[in-house]
Structure 1
Amino acid sequence: MLKRITLVVILLVFIKPAYDYGKQILSDAQNILSEDNVITDVTSKVLSGEVMKDIEKTVTNSVEESQSPMVATTSGAVLPDKVNSVEALTDAFYYYFSQWETNFTIHYVGSTSDIENIIERATKDAAARDQYIQGHLSDRKIEYEYSKLDAKITVHQQYLTNAAQEEIVNREVASILSTISPESMTDFEKVKFVNDYIVKNTAYSTETTISPHSACAVLQEGKGVCQGYALLALKMLQELGVETKYVVGEVYTGGHAWNLVKVDGQWYHLDTTWNDPVPDRKNIVSYKYFLTTDAKMKLDHSWNQSDYPTATNDKYTVMSQVDHAYEVDGAIYYSNVDDNHKLYILDLSTGKTKRLTEARAQFIVGYGNWIYFSNYSNGAFLTKIKTNGTEQSIVYRDEVKDLFIEDGFLYFHTPDGLKQMEL
């Protein structure tokens, strides 16, 4: 007797709302350089590729050269030729899923009176063992031929990626995490590192070669949608030893995905997608959805709460104020969205905040004892202030944006192009 079942997993196209930031209206001003600073136009260098190499994503590994390692079953046993229980069938499905196998056959020995439900339970339980794999499962077709005590189950499984691409993900994640020292980091620091890395290196987009729903697209192409953001966050945080969940829910645009993370024994929501400004703003990170509570997420997210742990601790609520953040020596200098974007400092050890200046600050960076920013209280002029809030002064009298520091130079964009200043 031959019976065929076709299971289709419908991929949700998660769409992030495009926030309208509006245009800043700035007064015209003449460039006036301070005696201590020399500004150089380096626009031509950017066009020739000499500058900003640190913010370009380089793909160093090709799919063709990758090989996927063998993955054991959760019990550690060698996969047998035949399985004789739901648990063993689940092990078999998990094994093949973890190998990203597209076509495989499992020989089931046992009563087949409820074979359809047995297969459904086994596939569901196998997928649930690893949320990262589960998030990459796509369409599935199952055919089985059976007698009363025997079934031959043939599976045709599709994924968002393949084994070779997932090996690249493994290598790239390992490479990224090798740049930090997890053993000396707090859970908060680990989560912030992952959030910042994904936001700074990703633009929200469906225009990818690899599925935009995959972690691989986010890593390899620097583009993706919320599913890819959340799956990569899951992968990186688990590698760092942070207990993490992959959450599927709804927002006003439709299906959406994000994470729950456990920091110092408490659960918090983390939405890296909605922490990434749209349109993309290089190196700018929002923290509106960083380590937040169920109550706050419910304002614009919905999910089946019974499927996930509760998040009620509001210890990190202050992070929702933070925009254009620069972190150094246990403190975050930031533009406070709750106080007209004025420049603040947050002491990470105490959680206390303090206004550093009345100036409205954007594109904040730092070097030594100085903080540099675009002063939106004064024509968006380049301004500097000491980390203790003293000696504020204008450095360059023209509209500046997109500040970054590299090799002892401060770079910033002006209406006339990219400029540099030695620090």
Structure 2
Amino acid sequence: MKTYFESYEQYKRQGNSIKTTTITAKQLLPALIAHMERMDRQFTLHINGQLPMPIDELLKEAFDQCHLEQPFYTQHCEKRSYKYRQLTKNRIKVEFTMRYRMARQEEKWIVDEIQTILKNRIHPDMSALQKVLIVHDYIARTYSYERHTEGSPFAVYTFMNEKHGVCMAYALLFEKMMEVLEIPCYYVIGKAAGEGTEGHAWNMVQIDGHWYHVDVTWDDIGSIPGREVRYRYFLVADEKMRLDHEWNENHYPICTSTKFEAFHRLYDGCVVNTSVYYPHPGNGHLYEMNLANYPLQAKQKLSVNIQFCFSINGLLYFRNDSHNRYLYQFEIAAEELTQLSAEPVIRIYETETTLEVLYADETTNSIQKLFSADTESEDSLRVETDENRLEVPLNTFGDSWVASVEQQADCQPMVFKSADGIELIVEDRCKQLTVDIYINRGLHIQITSKRKNVEFHQPAQLKMPTALIPGLEQQLSKQKALEYFTDENFIYIQLFKSVTIQLKK
């Protein structure tokens, strides 16, 4: 990478920081980065020595290159202005004013959220390839391209909250996740075919000593029916990337390896252990590619046409288009294929805690993720109420139980109780909560706050008399949808959000 300026790491190794106000021209870029990393709104620098170019050109060069280091902070700097004064022949005072697209509390929320997302998906023993693939798929499947957002479409905070944004947000989130995973990565600014004169952003990532391009924005194809993510721009060499992308090649490492070209025709993959499973781009059959063996080779696992392939709890779930578009589960080790629904599937998508299945009759099913990091025993699902919980009566109307509560600022955990033995214990402290439980060809649990669905940080615990809904345990056991256990009279279910558990007719 060719640049006039010192690197940020070199600048820090020399003992410099935001307290360093007198710098050389070569230190201008890292000094700016140090202040933007802290999101400083106003600061002053004194540049000593002979300049290699006029001061305005030097400042423009520094701002144009600041995305090469700490882009998560420098690119969130929305507006930059400065004024300068020549103090002596070889000393210039520059006063900077900055405006940012995120606040400090928003930055903290983003970093905490990223840590949680990666903890739930990434294991330390995974290879760099597995980690990069999982992050690529998470972003492409979870977010969508949209310029019209309530917050700034360029900001990662807006992107993660509203699930919409532009290429800058895609690339900044990817770069920040790579930083957390300690995988070398660049945020790349350039142009791309069809993007007009506005420019485009993507990433470069290093795997096993080689650099590759990754454009998650262009791999997000959620608007194509039945497909959500492709790999045409996943781990791409310069030669192929130049066909429809342009960038300043002096500012970035070269990408020459074609090791992962086997990915480029695939779509909708999911990682299980060291393999990726996906529908074959030609016949739609389930295929497996072992990421630990090179060259990468694919082999067929099932001769059925599949769509919406996901991995939850070590099992594959997909729509079987060879059998009425029903939901199927595939146990990889045993090679056991099981039909889970008798209703056609419209869509399958993933949340932080569940796999959501939408059926043609507009019903839904939630398959709960099991997190093994802090595995709880069955007894830990049984949480006894105590005097610190707010007790709320569940009103009974035939096969329906309803309650709503609104608390003051000092919120308490809650327990909802009915006269016939239903209990719902909520550990999260919510100001307003509405619970609607009803039985209609299955068990439906709707939990909302101000008419919006709730996702709990700590799982709620539902205690349900088994006599109220015969067959519930058998359905849970077959689908492995939720974490639960039973005793003689009750079934205890762990909930992170509203769910529907259908019973077969």
| TM-score normalised by structure 2 residue count | 0.60
C-alpha separation in 2, matches of 1:73 and 1:369? 44
Q: More displaced, 382-391 or 237-246?
A: 382-391
Verify: 1:171 aligned to 2:112, yes or no. Answer: yes
C-alpha separation in 2, matches of 1:357 and 1:128? 45
3-state SS of the aligned residue for 2:222? coil
Verify: 1:159 aligned to 2:100, yes or no. Answer: yes
Match in the other structure for 1:246: 187
Q: Paired residue for 2:321, among 350, 356, 376?
A: 376
| Compared CA separation, residues 157 and 412, structure 1 to 2 (3 A) | closer
| Compared CA separation, residues 296 and 360, structure 1 to 2 (3 A) | farther
| Compared CA separation, residues 117 and 336, structure 1 to 2 (3 A) | same
C-alpha separation in 2, matches of 1:278 and 1:373? 16
Q: Give yes or no for contact 2:347–2:359 (8 Å, CA) kept in 1.
A: no
Match in the other structure for 1:75: 14
Q: Paired residue for 2:33, among 62, 70, 94?
A: 94
Verify: 1:415 aligned to 2:355, yes or no. Answer: no
Q: Give yes or no for contact 1:128–1:134 (8 Å, CA) kept in 2.
A: no
Structure with the bigger RCO (C-alpha within 8 Å, sep 6+) is: 1
C-alpha separation in 2, matches of 1:367 and 1:132? 31
Deviation at 1:361, TM superposition (A): 0.7
C-alpha separation in 1, matches of 2:82 and 2:179? 31
Q: More displaced, 326-335 or 262-271?
A: 326-335
3-state SS of the aligned residue for 2:267? strand
Q: How does 1:106-125 map to 2 (within 5 A)?
A: 106-108=45-47, 114-120=54-60, 123=63
Q: Report the structure number with the largest CA radius of gyration.
A: 2
Match in the other structure for 1:4: none
Q: Paired residue for 2:246, among 284, 302, 315?
A: 302
3-state SS of the aligned residue for 1:106? strand
Match in the other structure for 1:348: 291
Match in the other structure for 2:81: 141
Q: Paired residue for 2:156, among 215, 224, 232?
A: 215
Match in the other structure for 1:400: 345
Match in the other structure for 2:230: 286
3-state SS of the aligned residue for 1:349? coil
Q: Give yes or no for contact 1:268–1:293 (8 Å, CA) kept in 2.
A: yes
| Compared CA separation, residues 130 and 322, structure 1 to 2 (3 A) | same
Query: What code does the residue aligned with 1:248 have?
Result: I
C-alpha separation in 1, matches of 2:250 and 2:222? 31
| TM-score normalised by structure 1 residue count | 0.70
Match in the other structure for 2:396: none
Query: What code does the residue aligned with 1:103 have?
Result: Q
| Compared CA separation, residues 387 and 82, structure 1 to 2 (3 A) | closer
Query: What code does the residue aligned with 1:288 have?
Result: R
C-alpha separation in 2, matches of 1:203 and 1:182? 26
| Structure 1: gaps of 5 or more residues | 1-71
Query: What code does the residue aligned with 2:80 have?
Result: R
How many positions carry a matched residue from both structures?
A: 351
Q: How does 1:174-253 map to 2 (within 5 A)?
A: 174-179=115-120, 183-253=124-194
C-alpha separation in 1, matches of 2:21 and 2:246? 43
The alignment's C-alpha RMSD in Å is: 3.6
C-alpha separation in 2, matches of 1:102 and 1:369? 48
Deviation at 1:126, TM superposition (A): 5.6
| Structure 2: gaps of 5 or more residues | 1-10, 366-474, 480-505
3-state SS of the aligned residue for 1:169? helix
3-state SS of the aligned residue for 1:157? strand
